[in-house]
Amino acid sequence: MEAISPDKPLEKELLPLFTSKAPFQLPTEWKDFIVKISPYIMLILVPLTVLAIGVTAFASIFTTFTSNPRWGLATLVTTAGLICSLLSIKGLFDRKREGWIWSYYAFMLYLLSDLLHFHFIDAIITFLISGYFLFQIREYYK
């Protein structure tokens, strides 16, 4: 597959970490499978995330900002990640770089949200697992 030059923030630094320097590469069949099912996974996860955040969380954001600004900011970052995930779906179905980029932004925002919530173990897991799979299939999106 043709290499796409990394042009997004931190993409250049993360690319080798999750590809050439990773202890193992996913087999092509696995990558093909992940690329085929990833838009459907997004279709399932986006509504579940909306439910997890909940309508009351959106209603209480302003109260959260006054009582715990960091928590309110983290909720806004999670919401931005959710929007990026939603925007990625069409591009993932079409196998366009745009879909991968929106997924990348969602990955970065969810990671930031974990850090703002002080969920450091979640941040490490998000970084390692999501980053690995995201970068392993990167070459499929042109």
Q: Are 75 and 61 in contact (CB under 8 A)?
A: yes
- Predicted pLDDT of residue 25: 94
Residue 101, domain member (yes or no): yes
**Number of residues in the chain:** 142
Residue 45, domain member (yes or no): yes
Instruction: Report how many domains make up the chain.
Output: 1
Separation of CA 126 from chain center: 9
- Predicted pLDDT of residue 62: 62
Q: What is the pLDDT of residues 20-67, one digit of tens each?
A: 999 999 999 999 999 999 999 999 988 888 777 776 566 666 666 667
Point out the least confidently predicted range of 39-53, 95-109, 115-129: 39-53
pTM assigned to the model: 0.85
**Mean per-residue pLDDT, 66-91:** 87
Structural domain of residue 73, as residue ranges?
40-140
**Mean per-residue pLDDT, 111-126:** 94
Which pair of tokens denotes residue 57?
């969380």
